[in-house]
Amino acid sequence: MNALVSMSGIEKSFAGVPALSQANLEIAPGEVHALIGQNGAGKSTMIKVLTGVYDRDAGDVHLAGVPSRISTPREAQESGIATIYQELNLVPLRSVTENIIMGYEPKRLGFLVDWREGNMRAREVLMRFGIDIDVTEPLGNFSTAIQQLVAIARAVSLDAKLVIMDEPTSSLDASEVEVLFGVVRELKKQGVSVLYVSHFLDELFQICDRVTTMRDGRTVSTRNVQDTTKLEMIADMLGRNKDEIAADGLTDFAGAKAKKGDIVLRADSVSTGPRLTHFDLTLHRGEIVGLGGLLGSGRTEAARALFGVDGKRSGAIELHGVVGQPSGPGDAIVNGVGFLTEDRKAEGIIPDMSVRENMTLALLPKLASRGQIDFAREREIVQAFIDDLGIKAAHMDQPIRELSGGNQQKVLLARWLATQPDILILDEPTRGVDVGAKREIQSFIRSYVEKGFGVVLISSEFEELVEGADRIVVMHEGRSVKELTNPGVTENILVRALAHHEEGTGSWNAQ
C-alpha cells in the first residue's frame, strides 16, 4: 500500500539551531497516526513543514507517492491536508453553517448565498459524525468540543485526506473526548487519515494505529500501538531505559515528606458565587494540599478566592493568622501568596516580552527602589533561576514565545518562586508539559515545600495528586466535601471519593 504522506530526511534549522534533523514520518491512508514527544522535540515543526508554514532545509515530502509542491498553508488545504489547531480559527459570532461553508458557499443566481442548501449541507456533514445541533445558531453558543468538531466537519467537507489534530483533547472533558474519538473513528472508516498529536498517552491506545516518537528533532521510533506500552513510549520520549522509569514511579513527587509546621492559610466556608459555595481548607508550612475534583467542581474558583481575584460573599480567609481576603493579586503577593494559573497562554506569559521580563513580573515591586528597576539584581536573580530550573533558552532576553511549553512553564514557576511566597497555589502546573519537564517541575515543588513553604496543588491527574499531595481536599459542585490524608491514598480511593459524590447527580460526567 502506498503511503499517503511520506516525509524523509527532513532538516530544518532556525538561526543555525537545528529543530529537525533526519526526521521521518509515514502515514498510511485511513490510518490514525500518533505523533508524540517532549515539548521542543520537533512535533510542531514537523507539522509546519508538512503544511507549508515553514520551508524545509533538506529532505523529501511525498503525497500519495508524488513529490509535494505545498509551500503555503492554503496549498496544503487544497491538497487535502486540514489542520485543526488548538486555537480554533473559526468565527464564533457567525452561524455554524457559515463556519462550515465559508469560502465555498453554494450560490443562487451566481451571487446570492443559497442558505437552504448551505444549512442542509452543514447538517449533513455534522450528522455523519452523529452531531445533531441547530446549524443556524452562532457557533459561539456551543461548547469548545462542538466548536472543535465543527472545525473538523469543515475540514471533511473540503474533502480532506489527512486531518492533523494538535492536542485536540486538552480543553475537553471526558464525555466530549468520547464524542471526539467517535469522530476520529468515523474519519478512519471513511478512509481519511488522522495525524494525532497529544500529551495524553492513555488516549493513544483507544484510537491510534501507530505512533511515531520524536526526540531532539529526530524520529526515534515508529511502533504499532497494539504492540507497545505506555512505559515504552515514555522511555522513547525521554531517551531512558524503561525499567529504570518503572522502578522510579511515574512522578518525581515521591520522597521524604517534610514535617508539618504552623498553619499559614485557613479558609472557612468561603463562597464567591454559584461556582464556589462552601470551601474549607487548612494549609500548614511544609505541606502540599491537593484539590481534587472534576472539571467545574470549583477548584480554580477556590484558588481565585484565595488570591483575591474573586471577592468572597461569605466565609473567612485567614493568612498567617490574620483574617481577611487579599483585595487583589497585588495585595495577595505582598501577603506572601503566589498563584500559578492554569491557562499559560491567556493568563501566564506575555508572549513578546523576554524570559527575563516575564520571570520578574511579580517580583517587580521588590526589584525597584522609587520606581526604578535594579537591572543588575534582576539579571542575577533570573540567571540563578535559569540555572536552577534548567530553563532552556538561548539567553535571558529571548522572547518567551520562542520557548517550548515546558520551558515557558518553568519560567512562570520561577516568576512565583522568585517572590518566595509562603503559600504557593499551583493550578495544573504540569498540564500540556512534556514528561521530562513534568518530572522536573514536580521535584522543584517538592523541594520548595521542604524549605518550609506551603503549596496548594490543583490537578486533574489523579496520579499527580495521589503521589504529590500530603492531603487531598475533594471538591464537588463548588463545595469541599471530603479530605483524604496520605500516606495511604491510592488512585482508586480518590476516584471512589469523587464517584461517591457523583451518585446523587446520576452521571459521572455531569458538569
Site for another protein contains 346 (CB under 8 A):
yes
Q: Which is nearer to another protein, 343 or 388 (CB)?
A: 343
Site for another protein contains 397 (CB under 8 A):
no
Whether the CB-CB separation of 9 and 22 falls below 8 Å is answered with yes
> Between residue 70 and residue 99, which ones bind another protein under the rule CB under 8 A?
71
Q: Which is nearer to another protein, 307 or 448 (CB)?
A: 307
Stretch that binds another protein, among 16-24, 155-163, 169-177, 348-356 (CB under 8 A): 348-356
Q: Which of 364, 384, 394, 499 binds another protein (CB under 8 A)?
A: 364
Q: Which of 162, 309, 474, 475 binds another protein (CB under 8 A)?
A: 309
Quote the CA–CA distance of 178 and 181 in Å, as a whole number: 5
Site for another protein contains 373 (CB under 8 A):
yes
Q: Spell out a b/e string for 249-266, using b for 16 or more CB atoms within 10 Å of the CB, else e.
A: ebbbbeeebbeeeeebbb
Name the DSSP letter for residue 3: -
Q: Which is nearer to another protein, 52 or 436 (CB)?
A: 52
CA distances 168 to 140, 172, 262, 400, Å, are 18, 8, 43, 24
Stretch that binds another protein, among 226-234, 359-367, 460-468, 487-495 (CB under 8 A): 359-367
Quote the CA–CA distance of 266 and 319 in Å, as a whole number: 7
Stretch that binds another protein, among 106-114, 233-241, 253-261, 334-342 (CB under 8 A): 334-342
Q: Which of 89, 226, 372, 507 binds another protein (CB under 8 A)?
A: 372
Q: Which of 250, 258, 291, 349 binds another protein (CB under 8 A)?
A: 349
Stretch that binds another protein, among 52-60, 76-84, 257-265, 450-458 (CB under 8 A): 52-60
Quote the CA–CA distance of 18 and 268 in Å, as a whole number: 53
And the C-alpha cell for 405?
A: 511549553
Q: How far is the CB of 86 from another protein (least distance, A)?
A: 17
- The binding track of 432-471 with respect to another protein, each residue x by CB under 8 A or -, is ----------------------------------------
The amino acid sitting at 431 is R
Residue 135 CA neighbour count, 13 Å, CB half: 24
DSSP 321-375: TEE---SSHHHHHHTTEEEE-S-IIIII--TTSBHHHHHTTTTHHHHEETTEE-H
Site for another protein contains 341 (CB under 8 A):
yes
Classify 500 as helix, strand or coil: helix
End-to-end CA distance of the chain: 45
Q: How far is the CB of 170 from another protein (least distance, A)?
A: 19
Quote the CA–CA distance of 208 and 499 in Å, as a whole number: 29
Q: How far is the CB of 213 from another protein (least distance, A)?
A: 26
> Between residue 240 and residue 259, which ones bind another protein under the rule CB under 8 A?
none
Q: Which of 129, 142, 253, 339 binds another protein (CB under 8 A)?
A: 339
Q: Which is nearer to another protein, 13 or 492 (CB)?
A: 13
Query: 86: burial class by Cβ within 10 Å (0-12, 13-18, 19+)?
Result: middle
Binding residues for another protein (CB under 8 A): 55-58, 71, 307, 309, 329-330, 332-334, 339, 341, 346-353, 357, 361-362, 364-365, 367-368, 371-373, 415
